[in-house]
Amino acid sequence: MSISARLPAFPWDRLEPYKATAATHPDGVVDLSVGTPVDPVPDVIRAALSAASDSPGYPLTYGTKALREAAAEYLRRWHGVAGADQAAVLPLIGTKELVGWLPTLLDLREGDQVGLPELAYPTYEVGALVARAEPVATDDPAADLDPARTRLLWLNTPSNPTGRVQTAAELRAVVEWARANDVLVVSDECYIELGWEGAEPVSVLHPDVCGDSHQGLLAVHSLSKRSNFAGYRGGFLTGDPEVVAALLEVRKHTGMIVPKPVQDAMAAALGDRAHAVEQKERYARRRAALRTAFEAAGFRIEHSEASLYLWATRGEDCWTTVADLAGLGILVAPGEFYGPAGQEFVRIAFTATDERVAAAVARLTPAG
């Protein structure tokens, strides 16, 4: 069986008819379905990329020391990861490639299990299927996973799609179970800087979660959201030095290398806080406007205390909601994309421009 035959249909293709409907609105579509950045790339990043543009030689898979040190310092200073070590940082070609390929890079086989959240980014499941492993969706790993078969457990806090934040105590309990059963925990922390209304996301590598050791743990970080870096394709992972070293060896063999100009741009992005604060303030304004409008239009918002999304429901099938909003020229993502538990929800991204957010608010607000 080919790899493609093992995979589900690409979910976003199913949204195309609704996108076409929304695009017929006289004022155009307001696309709130995908969390892609729309604001300018900060000048500090563009300058670093330009300065490194004369890079004729092959870059290092391991990354430059400047990049690894910037990543480690970022974790220590802004996320309390006291044990962050530049030697255990590995750059990524965006984080989606790592999510999709990690089970294969770790040599998972048929019969192995991969745990993932009950409501989750679809690529966790896809990565397991590519490796012929069995994906198991669960929010209670101790109850639902077979310790003898489970090799990898994905965490995602803040969650995509729900925006839920797991506490340090919740994460610590998972880490203790995983360590007792020799299961590698990988925490996708790409929304860690985007906590709202007092929510304080915590890294799996924080001492309150894992103590003074990163054994059996990896954390995955993206620059796409905080730094409008999605088009550059850059992120990094860090954690257990032995696991990082093993992944480095495989990635060297297979040519998984971040271009040198992108590495320099990453270092600049991680070293500059001002642009990230400014971007978060933009998202906060858009989030507040959309939340108020959707709640006034009869939606209930659940969780959504962090990330770039509102997790919303009107107590009906998600595709009914998608179709109704498409009629208003607003495109959202059906909750079914993220698992059966999302059947009555939609995910609303607030990554549209201020002008498009204002258009959505106006369409949701009754005239008069």
- pLDDT at position 1 is 65
**DSSP structural state of residue 41:** P
Q: Looking at the structure, do residues 99 and 130 belong to the same domain, yes or no? A: yes
Residue 368 has what pLDDT? 46
Residuewise pLDDT in 10s, the chain (368 residues): 677 778 888 888 999 999 999 999 999 999 999 999 999 999 999 999 999 999 999 999 999 999 999 999 999 999 999 999 999 999 999 999 999 999 999 999 999 999 999 999 999 999 999 999 999 999 999 999 999 999 999 999 999 999 999 999 999 999 999 999 999 999 999 999 999 988 899 999 999 999 999 999 999 999 999 999 999 999 999 999 999 999 999 999 999 999 999 999 999 999 999 999 999 999 999 999 999 999 999 999 999 999 999 999 999 999 999 999 999 999 999 999 999 999 999 999 999 999 999 999 999 998 64
Question: Which of 250, 272, 294 represents a domain boundary (last residue)?
Answer: 272
Sequence-ordered alpha helix ranges (H) in 52-159: 65-79, 96-105, 123-130, 141-144
Digit-coded pLDDT (tens) for 95-144: 999 999 999 999 999 999 999 999 999 999 999 999 999 999 999 999 99
Note whether residue 45 is domain-resident. Answer: no
Predicted structure pTM score: 0.96
pLDDT for 14 equals 93
25 and 69 assigned to the same domain: no
Verify that 116 and 31 share a domain, yes or no: no
* Strand ranges of the sheet holding 184-188, from the earlier edge strand across to the other edge: 89-92, 235-239, 217-222, 184-188, 150-156, 113-116, 134-137
Other beta carbons within 10 Å of 207: 14
**Which residues fall within 8 angstroms of residue 321, CB to CB, at 6 or more apart?**
313, 314, 332, 334, 346
Count of domains for the chain = 2
Domain of residue 9 covers 3-40+275-364
Among left, alpha and beta (phi > 0; psi -120 to 50; other), residue 303 is: left
Whether residues 301 and 164 share a domain: the answer is no
H-helix or E-strand containing 18? Answer: helix 16-22
Do 32 and 62 share a structural domain? no
Asked whether residue 142 is assigned to any structural domain, the reply reads: yes
Q: Where do we find the tokens 């498009």?
A: 356
Q: Are residues 251 and 280 in the same domain?
A: no
CATH number of residue 316's parent domain? 3.90.1150.10
Q: Is there a single domain that holds both residue 224 and residue 349?
A: no
> Do 294 and 204 reside in the same domain of the chain?
no
Distance (Å, whole) CA 10 – CA 22: 20
Alpha-carbon span 243 to 266, nearest angstrom: 22
DSSP state string for 153-197:
EEEESS-TTT-----HHHHHHHHHHHHHTT-EEEEE-TTTT-B-T
Residue 9, domain member (yes or no): yes
Inside any domain, residue 8: yes
Residues 32 and 60 in one domain: no
Tell whether 132 is covered by a domain. yes
Same domain as 267, residue 279: no
Q: How far is CA 80 from CA 91, 172, 186, 219, in A?
A: 20, 15, 18, 13
In a domain, 342, yes or no: yes
Task: State which of 246, 272, 298 marks the end of a domain.
Answer: 272
Q: Are residues 217 and 263 in the same domain?
A: yes
- Asked if residue 87 belongs to a domain, the reply is yes
Beta bridge partners of 310: 348
State the pLDDT at residue 164: 97
CB neighbours (10 Å) of residue 180?
Answer: 11
Q: Which amino acid is at 270?
A: L
H or E, element range at 250: helix 241-254
**Residues 224, 288 within the same domain:** no
- CATH number for the domain including 184? 3.40.640.10
With a CB cutoff of 8 Å and minimum separation 6, the contacts of 123 are 96, 99, 100
What pLDDT is stored for residue 244 in this prediction? 98
**Domain's final residue, options 272, 302, 320:** 272
Q: Is residue 29 part of a domain?
A: yes
What six digits make up the tokens of 70? 């910037």
